[in-house]
Amino acid sequence: VVLYEGDSERLYIRKLLGLPDFSSLYDSYIAFIQVGGAYAHNYLPMLTMLKMKTLIITDLDYDKNVVTIENAKSSKSTNATINHCYRLIHPDRGEKYSPTIQELYDFQKKDEVVLYDGLVYLAFQDENSTARTLEEAMLNKLLETNVFEKLKRSEWKSIRKNNKLTFTIPNNKKDEDDSEYSIRKIVEATSNNKTDFMYSVILSGIEEKMLPDYIKKGLLWLAK
């Protein structure tokens, strides 16, 4: 079973299964279930009872207004599934404990994201990507820069053209000829056209080039 958040993830994951690294999954019977980040954990009691190997792909969803990785690490995720899974491993923290992003990065690095005796894998954005969503992580992989670093509007136009991508670039700010915008601002401006962005990635044939590490690790785990 693959539990995922929305249409963008569905399009992307299905396309990724055509890559050589995941060829064994292409011929496997996989149930794709769209659940949203807030609800995936509700399926776990049933799936583990049935002993179904389950990959959860979800977003870290920390405060989008933070402007440095240091501030991001001290903020918290609004993703109920991630927080629920963290508490499964750290029950001493309490039933309502919300871990910081740094705690979630550490949780991930210690491979505590493999749950229920190896039956469930929880995949979300890692510390290297600095991202909070799939789209941010994909642009981070393509550009090899963190989501806070700003690029000039003219640079974003070149990136869009050279990679045949569809995304929205905000207009120049008042009294500026070539305003600077971060990956986060580009994704925020494209929030109503996520599906178009994903279609452009697929049609341009750069899905592997933009493959975030956390999704690759999750799919490789599922393929074992």
Q: What pLDDT digit, counting tens, does each position of 95-119 carry?
A: 899 999 999 999 999 999 999 999 9
Q: Are 34 and 6 in contact (CB under 8 A)?
A: yes
Residue 17 has pLDDT above 90, yes or no: yes
Residue whose entry in the numeric block shows the structure tokens 């999704």: 215
Neighbours of 208 (CB within 10 A): 14
- Supply the pTM of this predicted model: 0.95
Q: What percent of the chain has pLDDT over 70?
A: 100
Mean pLDDT of 3-11: 92
Residue 36 has pLDDT above 90, yes or no: no
Residue 62 has pLDDT above 70, yes or no: yes
Q: What are phi and psi of 192, to 5 degrees?
A: -90, 0
Residue 63 has pLDDT above 90, yes or no: yes
Residue 205: both structure tokens together: 């044939």
Mean pLDDT of 24-29: 87
Number of Cα atoms under 13 Å in the Cβ half of residue 49:
5
CA dihedral 36, 10, 148, 211 (to 10 degrees): 140
Mean pLDDT of 8-30: 92
Q: Are 1 and 55 in contact (CB under 8 A)?
A: yes
Q: What percent of the chain has pLDDT over 90?
A: 92
Find all residues with CB under 8 Å of 42, minimum gap 6, and list them.
35
Q: Where are the beta strands (DSSP E) in 67-214?
A: 114-115, 120-123, 150-152, 180-182
Question: 3-class SS at 115?
Answer: strand
Residue whose entry in the numeric block shows the structure tokens 């799919």: 219
CA dihedral 76, 55, 9, 149 (to 10 degrees): 40
Q: How would residue 27 be classed by pLDDT, with cut points 50, 70 and 90?
A: confident
30-39, 52-61, 108-117: segment of lowest average pLDDT: 30-39
Alpha-carbon dihedral sign for residues 145, 121, 217, 113: positive
Between residues 27 and 217, the one the model is more confident about: 217
Residue 38 has pLDDT above 90, yes or no: no
| Residues 2, 135: Cα–Cα separation, whole Å | 19
Q: What pLDDT digit, counting tens, does each position of 172-208 carry?
A: 999 999 999 999 999 999 999 999 999 999 999 999 9
SS3 content of the chain, % helix, strand, coil (to 5): 50, 10, 40
Neighbours of 66 (CB within 10 A): 17
Q: Average per-residue pLDDT in the chain?
A: 95
Residue 26 has pLDDT above 90, yes or no: no
